[in-house]
Structure 1
Amino acid sequence: MKKAILTTVLLLTLGQIGLAQTNFDKTKLDNYFNALEENNKFMGSVAVSKNGEIIYTKTIGLADVENNKKATENSKYRIGSISKSFTAVLVLKAVEQKKLDLNQTIDKWFPTIINAKKITVKHLLSHRSGIHNFTKDKDYLTWNTQQKTEKELVEIITKGGSDFKPDSKAEYSNSNFVLLTYILEKTFEKSYSDLLQEFIVKPIGLTSTYVFGKINPNNNECKSYTFAGTWKVEPETDFTVPLGAGAITSTPIDLTKFADALFGGKLLSNESLEIMKTIKDGYGIGLFQMPFYKSVGYGHTGGIDGFTSVYSYFPDDKVSYALISNGTNMNNNDISIAVLSAVYNKPYEIPVFTTFNLTSEDLDKYLGVYSSKQIPLKITVSKNGNTLIAQATGQSAFPLEATEKDKFKFDQAGVVLEFNPTDKTMILKQGGGQFTFTKE
């Protein structure tokens, strides 16, 4: 949901894959997570199931930093856009019951939306509507914590207009799934929350999955955090904003149960499941493909406030994997690779973290606004205590970790910044690209 750099492809490597192990080295994987916890790299929980049985769980970090409350296996986290998988199941349930048709247009519900007479329910589900993604707007983070009515949110989405002709391509938009939420509620004359419980949660026995309200630590609900030298609590998005695009709370164990049930035919017909799994321009219906070595999984990622998440199901091996974090100071994709490598008996290393400590005064020589002739982007470098902060034009600020003299990184986005204070230059490295910036 939030503006974050999140990978939708879990991981992609080459080579032969072994069958998933039920007797893998759990101690090594525990030690991997202990290393993350000891170095403030990750707070969250993972679960893996095989053949419908949980074979590994691990939870580290704090559910409530301010009160030093440790997270447990029963701690609940906001799952962000993984909610879209649940919403897609509900829409296909409505189709199976002949209450909705995938090819019907949305003008009867939303006549004010541009191209409403050309946009179908399926276009919304597969991100092919062209409807602008309201969470991309610069002002989104100024009002996302406030309650919104359907009328207000539809007005915001209508005002955002269209980014492309319906069905001409696919582009991720949370607006699609907010509108699908309203369609479901009108179709069944029930709240999204009630529909979630009736058609998914109760039939498959989930114990910790529901539409969130205000975070309640007394109900085992985690707050979320970003790391800037210490864990800083994040504001809470109001549930009326993301709705079926991102308003569900759950646990990794519940997510593996959901995946097992979905792909085990307990939620939808085989025909409906095939519709969900059919990938066009990178998008399925509430699902993405997630390859690991030669095995192909299906699932979704999520991000809302300081929460990040991913789940994937590998049909060939009947393996479900889920991770939810309420605070991360590294690339969660690396954690997913480590867990699945353990399960599939592939090599992985327990990371060694080295720290390069700087005082607040040491950072002063890096501060300023940097611009590049290579890309139309300015980066403002500031500091918060003894942590360097970078912010690119139109994007959220992110903390930088010092790794050696004049060198900093932001693991979550794979960013490295190398400064030359004498020349007043900075080199940005990301995704194989290298860009030179000069201090203005």
Structure 2
Amino acid sequence: MAYIDSLYEYLDFYEKNNYLQGNLLVLDKGKPIIQRSYGDASIEYGIRNSVETKFMIGSLTKAFTSMIVFILHEQKQLDINESIQTYLTDFPDSSEISIYHCLTCTTGFPDFTSMKGFWEKEMRLTRTLDEMMDWIKNQEQLFEAGTQHAYSSSDYLILTKIIELTTGLSYEKALLKYVLEPLDMKDTGCLNEQKIVHDLADSYGYWGSEIKTVKTNLSFPLGAYGMYSTLPDLQIWNQAIQENRLLSEESAVKMFEPFQSTYACGWDIDNLMGQLCRQHMGIIDGFFSSIRQFPEKDFTVIFLSNQAVLPVTTITKQIAEIRFGKKYTAPTEERIVLSEKLQGELVGKYISENNGSSFEIISESNRLYVQMPKRYDVLYKFELILLESASGFTFLRTDKIDETMRITKDALIYKDVDGVLSQFRKS
């Protein structure tokens, strides 16, 4: 495997710079090529992440929900082409909205996570699934069902309710019966606000160092984003999907068929370096997860992290690119002293000439930091370290994520984790 040396160099550089936290699995032809744990499951108690560590997997849950629905479809307990009104009789004007529309996020129902004040307040409140159904059914559709795609966890709460009504089981018990027990996935399940899960990692944000993240009430996410799992269990899950162990090939083809976008049924279908890719990410409470399957090459990357700021999807993408021929060479650089003069010159607010985005550089205790919004406009604070490259130019590198700033006479040239360059000037 010619790419292994390049992959090791990439991971070693990222580990050296503290850019990795969580559990990483790289599978080639069904065999683990890389299985590594990074950082702490609990900083407070000094517990390291290990292969046994459980992580919340966020919206990777949607693939499990989709699988249950297709199993019930094959068993003729429901029909994915049926109207949801067959089950949710009090949903107004829903006769033209099908289960398949929910699977593909094409119902037009707005995502409940976009409700006003959700992340500031609503996510912390206890809600029942029925209460969430009441909220969804009273929302105006954004578009006619089946005509457009708009990613919506509301659709997967509807599927959760339909699964419960069809089977007579709670979502968690249905998950056990139709997926987890048949596959012997013993370290996977649903969380709620009271359940104790042994070996579950805590999760963190970042403000110059790790900080605790605000937690979501887990009384209702269920089939939308309510699950936890481990790398070994997700390896089982991955192989079961590859081998059609739970579904017929005909149903699997339908499940992975995009509709009105790149989104299929609980999976996003893409192409990376000429390779078909089935993927999904999950973000919840400081946990960030990503799975990328390349079925034609029997290659999979899974990364489960308990650090919100890590660019997990970028890391799994870069690993896949290395697998498919992109050479990685770690930069050679040396840390140099950041003078008080240069610190003083750099402190200030900066605005992008391209899109108006901004960040601020501050000095604290003779250290330089950048404060900037990242995913979902959450503000993060990273230390800036002055380095000199092998070719002799100086630049600033952030801690925790692989981003750099090159200092020029008139501006800062910012390179983000995806390699995108932006020019910022002092405001």
Instruction: Tell me which interval the TM-score lies in, with the shorter structure as reference length.
Output: 0.7 to 0.9
- Is residue 2:285 matched to residue 1:305? yes
Alpha-carbon deviation of 1:44?
Answer: 0.8
> For residue 390 of structure 1, what is the aligned residue in structure 2?
372
Bigger relative contact order, structure 1 or 2, given CA contacts below 8 A and separation 6+?
Answer: 1
C-alpha contact 1:43 1:327 (8 A) present in aligned 2: yes
Q: Check if 1:100 corresponds to 2:67.
A: no
RMSD between superposed Cα atoms in Å: 3.9
Query: 2: CA distance between counterparts of 1:183 and 1:129?
Result: 15
Tell me which residue corresponds to 1:287.
Answer: 267
- Identity of aligned pairs, percent? 23
CA distance in 1, matches of 2:412, 2:51: 43
Do the aligned residues in 1 keep the contact of 2:291 with 2:316 (CA within 8 Å)?
no
Aligned residue in 2 for 1:39: 17
- 1:340 corresponding residue in structure 2: 320
SS of 1:78 mapped into structure 2: strand
Q: How many residues align?
A: 412
Contiguous gaps of at least 5 residues in structure 2? 387-393
Give the letter aligned to residue 309 of structure 1. S
The answer to whether residue 66 in structure 2 is matched with residue 88 in structure 1 is yes
Q: What are the Cα deviations for residues 279-302 of structure 1, in whole angstroms up to 9, with x where unaligned?
A: 231111111224343321323211
Q: Secondary structure at the match of 2:60?
A: helix
- In the superposition, the TM-score normalised over structure 1's length comes to 0.79
* Alignment-derived partner of residue 324 in structure 1: 304
Residue aligning to 1:184: 163
- Structure 1 contact 39–353 (Cα < 8 Å) conserved: no
CA deviation digits over 1:332-367, x for unaligned, max 9? 244224533565565223466877898999689866
With over 3 angstroms needed to count, the CA separation of the structure-2 counterparts of 1:367 and 1:288, relative to structure 1, is same
Alpha-carbon distance in 2 for matches of 1:363, 1:191: 60
217, 223, 226: which one pairs with 1:247? 226
| Structure 1 residue 56, shift from structure 2 partner | 2.7
Residue in structure 2 matched with residue 71 of structure 1 by the alignment:
49
Other structure's SS at 1:129 match: coil
Match of 1:132 among 87, 110, 115: 110
Structure 2 residue identity aligned to 1:259: N
How many angstroms apart in 2 are the aligned matches of 1:371 and 1:152?
A: 43
Match of 1:171 in 2: 150
Structure 1 residues 374 and 315, CA, compared in 2 at 3 Å: closer, same or farther? closer
Inter-partner Cα distance in structure 1 for 2:115 and 2:107 = 18
**Contact 2:9 2:328 (8 Å CA) reproduced:** no
- In structure 2, the partner of 1:17 is none
Structure 1 gaps, min length 5:
1-20
In structure 1, C-alpha distance between the alignment counterparts of 2:173 and 2:280, rounded to whole Å: 23
Change (3 A) 1:356 1:253: farther
Give yes or no for contact 1:114–1:158 (8 Å, CA) kept in 2: yes
CA drift of 1:246 comes to 0.8
CA distance in structure 1 between the aligned counterparts of 2:336 and 2:90, rounded to whole angstroms: 55
1:249 alignment partner, SS class: strand
Q: 1:344 to 1:192 in 2, by over 3 A?
A: same
Change in 2 beyond 3 A, CA 1:269/1:356: farther
What is the deviation of 1:158?
3.5
Question: Do the aligned partners of 1:115 and 1:166 also contact (CA within 8 Å) in 2?
Answer: no
Q: CA-to-partner distance for each residue in 1:193-244, whole Å, 9 max, x for gaps? A: 1111111111112131111245989811111112221111212222223211
Alpha-carbon separation, structure 2, partners of 1:216 and 1:353: 47
Is 1:269 the equivalent of 2:251?
no
C-alpha contact (below 8 Å) 2:205/2:213 kept by paired residues: yes
Counterpart-to-counterpart distance in 2, 1:29 and 1:85: 28
1:337–1:130 distance in 2 versus 1, CA, 3 Å: closer
Q: Which residue of 2 aligns with 1:12?
A: none
Q: 386-395 or 282-291, which moves further after superposition?
A: 386-395
2:50 is the counterpart of 1:59: no
